[in-house]
Amino acid sequence: MTEFLAAAVAFPTVVFSLLVLVVLAYWLTVALVGLDFDAPVLPISISFFVLVTWFAALVGTVLTPEGKLRYAVLGGAVLVGALLTRILLIPVRNWTKPEKPASRNDFVGRTAIVRTARVTGNYGQAEVTADDGGTAVVQVRAAESTELKAGQTALIFDYDAEGEFFWVVDITTGG
């Protein structure tokens, strides 16, 4: 145990030992106070970096002779910490990726079931299914001189933002 403590307070490990204490204090505060943060990747990244770099510096300090190559151990520990942190945080970054907000353009290219008696160039509604399995009844207009009837399947091929409706064609005949 004394060898461990001697290595933990020897240069360059002592630099990261102090940072480990700061990280521990931060996470203890988060646990006790219940802080909530919007961007968890930054505190997690810093914590991983400090812990991995501290461990690499500790190993380097133990494996190198006293007083020799200590600055090389410092540089190597920082490089190892940066590399391993980058690799270890790949799942965290994927987990915390912000979701793309839903857009009406997400429905373009999908099929929809006509829900009104008919769909013309001026009138109509259809039910479309989103990626999450939810459904929405949307305003649709038939392209050109086509008319669709209730229950028919239509293909949504465009969205008119000004009129706030989707252009559809009959999927069975293509128009």
Residue range 43-69: mean pLDDT, rounded: 89
Residue range 36-59: mean pLDDT, rounded: 86
Q: What is the pLDDT of residue 29?
A: 86
- Cα separation, 77 vs 59, in Å, equals 9
Residue range 18-24: mean pLDDT, rounded: 94
CB 52 within 8 A of CB 80: yes
Residue range 16-35: mean pLDDT, rounded: 88
Q: What is the pLDDT of residue 38?
A: 63
- Cα separation, 1 vs 9, in Å, equals 13
- Phi then psi for residue 136, to 5 deg, are -140, 140
- Strand 111-114, strand 118-119: pairing: unpaired
* pLDDT, mean over the chain: 87
Q: What is the dihedral of CA 67, 73, 78, 80, to 10 degrees?
A: -160
Using alpha carbons only, give the angle 165, 132, 140 rounded to the nearest 5 degrees: 15
pLDDT per residue as tens digits for the range 133-153: 888 999 999 977 778 999 999
Beta strands in 12-134 (DSSP E): 111-114, 118-119, 125-129
Nearest to 142 by CA among 122, 159, 162, 171: 122
Q: Give pTM, 2 decimals.
A: 0.56
In SS3 terms, 114-163 reads as: ECCCEECCCCCEEEEECCCCCEEEEEEEECCCCCEECCCEEEEEEEECCC
pLDDT per residue as tens digits for the range 87-137: 988 887 777 666 777 678 889 999 999 999 999 989 999 999 988 788 899
